Amino acid sequence: MSQANEEKIGIWYTAFSYLLWGILPLYWKLLESRPAMEILAHRIIWSFFFMVVLLIVTRQIASWRKQVSMMMKKPKLAGGIIAAAILISVNWFVYIWAVTHGHVVETSLGYYINPLVSVVLGVVVLKERLNLWQWISFILASIGVCVMTFQYGTFPWIALTLAFSFGIYGLVKKLASVDSAIGLTVETMVVTPISFIYLFILYDHSSLLSTLTIWQLLLLIGAGPATAVPLLYFAKGARRISLTMLGFLQYIAPTLTLLSGIFLFHEAFTKAHVYTFSCIWVALVIFSFSKTKWMQGWHDKIINRNSFGI
């Protein structure tokens, strides 16, 4: 297959994964009568079982066992995977809670901020260097968060928790260097026993189990595929396209989430939101173009002028 066709297929795979992530709030809204922690526990358990079946079908179960065996022998690797499992669990819980409690717009803000958080983590932890335009985009994003805090009167903890938990999760995954499908299986395996214990206690000491309808049970079971399928499509697509194209496509999900929050769930979109999102969007445009030849040319001109004291 030609490189052009490979890239075209990669774009479709990746765009589809972001499309699924963008409409995921619609799925959690169907379960908004259930506690967020209950939904999270089911999501973890059924994601684990779904991924195990998938690994068996794709003949990757031996690789998963090898990864588990390596965890047992290497405490550092085990610590990284446990940290990843905790981070993704926190991210999932906050996301589910926010959606089921009418904060869909703020979740979209979190995933707009996320790429910029990843940049900051790269600078702080991996000692990566930013060019002038990337610094400008980071400062603009920071201004946007400050505007939300001071004008809206509420610290955007949902957005920042989602952005930082997923950003740090991505950093841990990068350092651990584990295949996405096997990594998700191992991570959900780590927290599945805790989820089982939680559900046992929850259903044993409450009447929640008696209120669970067949439709809700099917939705909770379906949380496994709903979690895993977008990730698998993303993994297929990301291998076929450039990092720049990946950067552009990643804004599909928060944009769809934002639109659904405003037009489907009728959440408030105040002036503070307008100012904040405007700062974030401008920052993302600058960041997305920061490594193009045109922007690099302007960067070099500015640096050269400054070096001569102009």
Over the stretch 8-29, which tens digit does the pLDDT of each residue have?
A: 888 898 899 999 999 999 999 9
Residue 135 pLDDT greater than 60, yes or no: yes
Average pLDDT over residues 273-296: 76
Contact criterion met (CB below 8 Å) for 244 and 67: no
Contact criterion met (CB below 8 Å) for 136 and 76: no
Residue 56: other Cβ atoms inside 10 A: 11
Residue 48: other Cβ atoms inside 10 A: 23
Residue at token pair 């991570």 = 187
Residue 167 pLDDT greater than 50, yes or no: yes
Nearest-angstrom CA–CA distance, 83 and 243: 26
pLDDT at 294: 53
Residue 46 pLDDT greater than 90, yes or no: yes
Residue 301 pLDDT greater than 60, yes or no: no
Pull the structure tokens for residue 211. Answer: 């209120």
Pull the structure tokens for residue 294. Answer: 């045109």
Q: Angle at Cα 54 formed by Cα 44 and Cα 188, nearest 5°?
A: 20
CA-based max dimension of the chain = 76
What single-letter amino acid sits at 228?
A
The pTM of the whole model exceeds 0.85: yes
Q: How far apart are the first and last CA of the chain?
A: 52
